[in-house]
Each structure stands twice: as C-alpha cells, then as structure tokens.
Amino acid sequence: MTMKDVSQTITMLPGDEIRQIMWRYADRFDMQMAVMGARSVARGLIARLVADGERNTHDWTDAKNRMYQAFDESGITAAGLDMAYGGIIDGPRNLALSLISYELAWVDGGAATTSLVNNLALGPIVEKGTPEQREKYMRACMPPAPGEDRKIWRGSFALTEPLPYVGVDTGVVSGRVSVAEWEEGKEPILQVEKRGRFITNMAVANFITAAVDTEDPRIKTSCMVILEESDEGVFDRGTPTHKLVHQLSNTADPIFSLKIPASRIVGGYTIKEGVIIPNLTHSEIIEAVFSRTRVGVGVMSAAKLLSAVEPLIRYQRGRFRGAAGIEAGSPRYDLGLQMKEDALHRLADVWATGEAAASLGFEISRVYDQLTLIEKEAHQIFEAQGVTGGRALMKALRKPQSDAIEMLRLMAQPEGARDEARIAELKADTLVQFVWLSAVGNVLCPACKLWDTGYGANMLREAVSLMGGYGITEDCPGFLFQKWTDAQLEATYEGPEVVQRRQISLTMNNEVFLAQIELWVAELRLLGAAKPETGATALAEGFELWRWMLAFIGDAKDANGRPLSQSQRHGVLFPMADAISWLLAVRSFIADVQELAARGPEHPVIGPEIAGYINTLTDLGHMQVARAAGEVGRIGAELVYGYAAPAEQAGEAGSAFQKLRAKMEGSLAGSRLAKDRVGKALSQVMIPEALDYPL
C-alpha cells in the first residue's frame, strides 16, 4: 500500500475511530464517553422532539423542557463544571465542550445552544468570579446525585438590551447599577435596573449574570452582577422571542429591577474613599468569556454540514428507484442522481466545507485547552513582577513577544540546520507559550466563528438545494432546512460577523501571528514537496499572497490619497479578515489529515482501510485549497486594483500582485482532478441502510 495509490477511496464515511485521531482525542476516554452521552441524547430525545414538530412553536413546552433532565443525566451539564463540582472532564474543557456541541448540533443547533448556555452564564463566574462566587454557583449548577433532593440551578447571560442599546457594540450598556443603601460598616446594597433582549434560557433561569454600567458617583466603573430570581424587586422573565429558528432553545426579553448585595459584583470590589471600585469592568469579563464560548457555535455549523452528507447521498442514490422502467441493478436505479457530475461535485463542496469548518473549530478548541493550562501561571509571573495591566502589561509582554517570534522563525528553518537547543529553551518559557498561543487564538477563534457560521450558512443552503423540493419540507431527512436557517442565528449571536471581522482586522497584524504564518508556510512547502497531492504548495502560496496584501494595504493609499489601512476602512480590512479565514480553515483540515496519515496506519481497526480514507480526505483538502486560493486571489484583485485610478492600473504593486497570484494559481494543478475523485468516492462509499435518528 502506498499513499500515492489514489485508486483506493473511502469505504464508509468517517466514523468515530477516524474522528478521534483527526481531532486528537483518541486517548481521552472521558471525552469519548462524553461524546457518546451527547450522541444518545441528540439522536434519541432531541431528534424525537424535532420529528414531533416541537419546533413549530417558539413557546417553551414541557416536552422541550425534558432536554434539561437528559442533559443532567448524561453528563452534558456536568461537562461544563470543575471535577470538584461533579464535572466529568479532567482539566481544560474547551475541546470536550466543542465535541458535545458537535454531537448535539448534528441533530439540532437550538438544543446545542440550550446545553451550552449555562456555561455562558457561569463563564464570568468561573473565569473571573471570587472564590465564594465560584463555590456558590458551581455547586448550585451541579446535577443532583441519584436520590439527592436538590433543585439544580440554571443561568442566563444578559448583555444585549432592547433597541437602541447594546447589540454589536457591547460598549454602550444602558443597564444601570446604583447604591440603594449603604449603612456605615455594612455591605452596600445595590439597585440594578436591566432590560434584556434575546436572552437565552430565560424560561428557566434561576440566576442571571448581567452587564451593567453606572451613573452613580459612588460606583467607579461598569461591572457584571449576579441576579437571583428570589432577589427583592422585579424579576420579570419577559415575553418569549418569536423566533423562526433554534426553537429548541428558549429566548425572551426580561426586565429586572432588583436589590442585591454588593458581593454579587462578579470578581468582587474594593472600597476607596467611599467609592465602590469593581475589580473588573463588564467588557473585561466579556472579553475573557466570549472569546472561548463562541468556538462552540462555529462547531455547530460545522457539525450540520457534515451531518448533511449521508442523507444527501441516500437521497441522490434512491432518486429514481421505483419509477416505471427503472430496473433494479441498472445504473439509474443504483446511482440515481449520482450519475451526474454536478450533483457529486456540489455534494463534495458541502462535505469539504464541513471538514474544514470542523477542523478549524477543534484546532482552536485545543489551542484554548493549552492556553488554559498556562495562563494562570503566566498571570502569576506577571503578578510577581508587579505587572497589573495596561501599559505595564504591554511592556512586560515585549520580551516574550520577540522571543516567540524568534522561536517561530527558528522552527521555520529546515530540520537539522536549526538551533534545536534554543527552540527547546524558548518553548519551555511560559510567557513565550502564553503570547504565542494567545496570538494564534486571537485570530483562529474569530475566524472559526466567522467562517464556520457565515460561509457554513451559505453551504447549508446548497445542501438544502441538493435535496430538491424535499429539502424545504418538514420530512426532509436530516432536518436540513432547519439546519440551514438555524445557521443564520449561529452567525449572529455571541458576536455577529461584523464583530469577528473587526477583531480579526486587529489581531491579524500581531507580529507573533505573522511569524506563525511564516512557520506554516515553511511546513506547507515541505508537505507540498513530499506530497503534491495535498495541495499544500498552493496553500503556502495563498498565505504568501495574503501576507503581501497585508503589507500592501499597510502602505497603499487610494486614488484620493486616503490610506487603505485606516481602522474604519471595513471595505479593505474585512475582506482581508475573510481571506485569512478561508486559508486558516483549510490549513487546519490538511493538518488533521496529516495526523490521520501519521497515526491511522497503526490503528488496529482502521489501519487496514486507512489508504482510502487518506486519499479521499487529501483530495477533499486539495479541492478546498483551490476554493480558498480562489477567494484570496479575488479579494486581492479587488483591493489592489479597486482603489487605484483607472490610469494607474496599480502600477508596480499590480505587477507584484500578479506575479504572486499567478504563482498561487499556477500551483493548483490537479485540484479539479481531486474533486473528480471525491465525486467518484461519494458515488461508491457504503452508507447505512437508514439514518440513525427519526425523520
């Protein structure tokens, strides 16, 4: 068996063993069990709810409410908690939560949201709360042990407010906190006025973490506060949002007017000269929490794309069976629509998008797991150095930043010729790790949320269209219509596309990230030379072109003399954010396929069949590289020529661009043949007799 023997293709769609290797949890039995627990709930209760039409109302019915108990019993709730509070995942939980989100969204995105929202509410407390707050609320959210008589608490996270208040711009909060009573020597009592819009979990929430600002001179800054349903005042759950999507989560516009003790300020406070100073502002907390939780949303869209492949194959193959004149055993009977190249190619596009989206989502989840392990240590080091934040922190990061860049550049040099001792030394440095992982995470995370949900939604529409009229009916196998329209919400909540683009347009300039790109380019060139069939060379050229474009916009002015790189120039920066997201997604996918190529052959179950999997997944990656390169070329052309005056034709920059673009496009050889092979594989792959969840 040689890997270059491209004749062998995938025998069945990738199963658990393949996924465990690709997404790197083959030796994590806790995660594998969590996956199985989530899958049984998804393809059991949740699929039943959808099939029974429970999504046809936005009301929170008893049937829908049963999901909570199923989540509690199967460990889905506990997966978000520390081991000390009944948790089931030892250590960081980002990858585990992404896998659970994947399993649930495979059937229904709203149900996945319901499972994750408690982590969103707890997030500020877990990440930034005082020890007392962590203890109280984590314990309250612990599923009761069998026989234990205790009501479990559930939470909501309330940032968004009724128009015209916070939405995309989280900075302008209108919710207010003021001092209600403050007796000498006693804990201050605060008055909270907060109206929420689109707040998930409000039908059941026992506590809310809410973002509030202040106009009271006795409170220094904005903050987050914890509200409880039994607090004195108004706790109005509000009217349910009339949602057209995600009906298996509950959302409402609540109104709170409550008195709470100051100890409910998330992260605590100090008092100085009669003024309450919250230790953390609302935006500091939101920054810390959302950056991680939004990955799970990207993974949802990825799961839905991959879940569409099997029902689509089945539909295509069975399309003409039973028609007059179509004899069993004839090609039309056996292959149906799969006789047509276009049907196969479009299905391949849906599949490739799903793979790249999932790989990107799981890669950033792993980055956050690593980061979780070291960030505490990093903060301790800063504390020991007396670094408290702001300027001092920027200064303290300077050295590790240049060290990280040095390390990445060294790693990009050929093996054998580079200074391994220095690399090892730098790698062992906590602060170097910290700035490295942060820099990568700060781009990968918004890229995942942006690309997976945004482009994912487009491709889910494509999936629906491949089912023809069936696609828009309630009876469509795999609930594709719901999955498509749900993706629109996934692209919106937890920071809509504009927020992600804005974040990338800042973080993509980080020198550490740019050094990481250099390293990726070096790795991809090596891979491309060894295995041209991966398309890695074209991807390397794509990254090079993007780097050139970044440098270009950094210097260039438009025909009117206005710099292209102005921070408000969304027309320039946002397409750059899109372009890098395309490249990052397919890079993650190729890396996962290489992991499979390295570790798959020795696997006792899949080893004998591995060549077919590697060939077909490599081909999928190759065709996706071509798609991504096409986007980067198009975006580059618009930016380079689109701002120039007609007479200029972008001058020297134009010819430099053309050269690089031609190099990238010239290396696309074989990518379309790869697509043909994927199409063929899709027409031959063995699928189960029936879908394993109801219609």
Binding residues vs ligand FAD (CB under 6 A): 156-160, 167-169, 198-200, 243, 246, 251, 489, 492-494, 496, 498
Least CB distance from residue 123 to another protein, whole Å?
21
**Residue 70 interacts with, from ligand FAD, another protein, none (CB under 5-8 Å by kind):** another protein
Beta carbons of 635 and 578 less than 8 angstroms apart: yes
Q: Give the Cα separation of 163 and 171 in Å (integer).
A: 14
Instruction: Choose one: 26-34, 323-331, 354-362, 445-453; the region binding another protein (CB under 8 A).
Output: 26-34
Q: Which two tokens stand for residue 500?
A: 């992600």
Question: At its nearest, how many Å lie between ligand FAD and the CB of residue 168?
Answer: 3
d(CA 23, CA 345): 25
* Residue 477 beta carbon to ligand FAD: minimum distance, rounded to whole angstroms: 26
**C-alpha count within 13 angstroms, C-beta hemisphere, residue 672:** 6
CB 159 within 8 A of CB 224: no
Q: Which residue is nearest to ligand FAD (CB)?
A: 167
Query: Is the N-terminal amide bond of 164 cis, ω within 30° of 0?
Result: yes
Query: What, of ligand FAD, another protein, none, does residue 17 touch, CB below 5 to 8 Å by kind?
Result: another protein
Decide which of ligand FAD, another protein, none touches 687; Cβ closer than 5 to 8 Å per partner kind: another protein
> Which of these, 310, 352, 345, 336, lies nearest to 673 by C-alpha position?
345
Task: Note whether 32 binds another protein by CB under 8 A.
Answer: yes
Q: Which does 492 bind (CB under 5 to 8 A by kind): another protein, ligand FAD, none?
A: ligand FAD
**Which residue lies nearer to another protein by CB, 185 or 329?**
329
Residues in the chain, overall count = 695
Binding footprint of another protein, residue count (CB under 8 A): 34
Candidate segments 24-32, 328-336, 404-412, 528-536, binder of another protein by CB under 8 A: 24-32
User: Closest CB to ligand FAD among 165 and 182?
Assistant: 165
Q: Can you tell me the distance from the alpha carbon of 656 to that of 651, in angstroms, rounded to the nearest whole number?
A: 9
Q: Which of residues 63-82 bind another protein (CB under 8 A)?
A: 70, 73-75, 78
Residues 187-246 that bind another protein (CB under 8 A): none
Nearer to ligand FAD, 199 or 586 (CB): 199
Type of residue found at 431: L
Sites for another protein among residues 600-629 (CB under 8 A): 603-606, 608-609
SS (H, E, C) 196-258: CCCEECCCCCCEEEEEEECCCCCECCCEEEEEECCCEEEEEEEEECCCCCCCCCCEEEEEEEE
What is the rounded (10 degree) CA torsion for 329, 335, 341, 342?
140
Residue written as token pair 């309330």: 158
Task: Please report where in the chains the tokens 């052309």 appear, as a residue.
Answer: 637
The residue range among 182-190, 200-208, 499-507, 681-689 that interacts with another protein, by the rule CB under 8 A, is: 681-689
Round to whole Å and give the CA distance between 454 and 300: 12
Identity at 165, one-letter amino acid code = Y
Choosing from 6, 22, 34, 337, the residue that interacts with another protein (CB under 8 A) is: 34
Neighbours of 327 (CB within 10 A): 7
Rounded to the nearest 5°, which phi and psi values hold at 238? 80, 175
The one of another protein, ligand FAD, none whose footprint includes residue 36, by CB under 5 to 8 A per kind, is: another protein
Q: Which of the listed partners (another protein, ligand FAD, none) does 647 bind, with a CB threshold of 5 to 8 Å by partner kind?
A: none
Contact partner, 493, from another protein, ligand FAD, none, Cβ < 5-8 Å per class:
ligand FAD
Smallest distance, ligand FAD to C-beta of residue 120, A: 7
Rounded to the nearest whole angstrom, what is the least distance from the CB of residue 452 to another protein in the complex? 26
Binding partner selected for residue 167 from another protein, ligand FAD, none, CB under the kind-specific 5 to 8 Å limit: ligand FAD
- Candidates 3, 8, 33, 345: give the one binding another protein (CB under 8 A): 33
Cβ distance to another protein smaller for residue 607 or 666: 607
110, 249 Cβ separation under 8 angstroms: yes
CB of 667 to ligand FAD, least distance (A): 35
CA neighbor of 114 nearest in space, from 60, 160, 152: 60
Tokens matching residue 490: 């996934």
Nearer to another protein, 33 or 656 (CB): 33
Name the binder of 160 from another protein, ligand FAD, none, CB < 5-8 A by kind.
ligand FAD
Q: Which residue lies nearer to ligand FAD by CB, 319 or 502?
A: 502
The contact pattern for another protein, residues 80-119, with x = CB under 8 A and - = no contact, is --------x-------------------------------
Do strands 207-212 and 155-158 pair parallel, antiparallel, or not at all (unpaired)? Answer: parallel
Return all residues near 74 (Cβ < 8 A) that are at least 6 apart: 37, 38, 40, 41
Closest by CA to 527, choosing from 580, 587, 600, 584, is 587
Residue 152, sorted as left (phi over 0), alpha (psi -120 to 50) or beta, turns out to be: beta
| CA nearest to 316, candidates 349, 341, 353 | 341
Q: Which residue bears the tokens 């230790």?
A: 279
**From the list ligand FAD, another protein, none, partner contacted by residue 690 (C-beta under 5 to 8 A by kind):** another protein
Shortest reach from residue 408's CB to ligand FAD, in Å: 32
- Stretch of 175-183, 236-244, 557-565, 682-690 contacting another protein, by CB under 8 A: 682-690
Task: Provide the token pair at 89.
Answer: 């995942």
Partner in contact with 169, chosen from another protein, ligand FAD, none, beta carbon below 5 to 8 Å by kind: ligand FAD
CB of 507 to ligand FAD, least distance (A): 17
CB of 68 to another protein, least distance (A): 13
- Residue with Cβ nearer another protein (331 or 608): 608
Tokens 């600002």: give the residue. 213
Smallest separation (angstroms) from another protein to the CB of 148: 12
* Edge-to-edge strand ranges of the sheet holding 155-158: 155-158, 207-212, 223-228
489 binds, among ligand FAD, another protein, none (CB under 5 to 8 A by kind): ligand FAD
Question: What one-character-per-residue DSSP string does 573-597 give?
Answer: HHHHHHHHHHHHHHHHHHHHHHHHH
- Cβ burial of 691 (10 Å; 0-12, 13-18, 19+) is middle
Q: Which of 37, 109, 354, 400 binds another protein (CB under 8 A)?
A: 37
Q: Footprint of another protein on this chain (CB under 8 A)?
A: 11-12, 15-17, 29-30, 32-37, 40, 70, 73-75, 78, 88, 145, 603-606, 608-609, 686-692
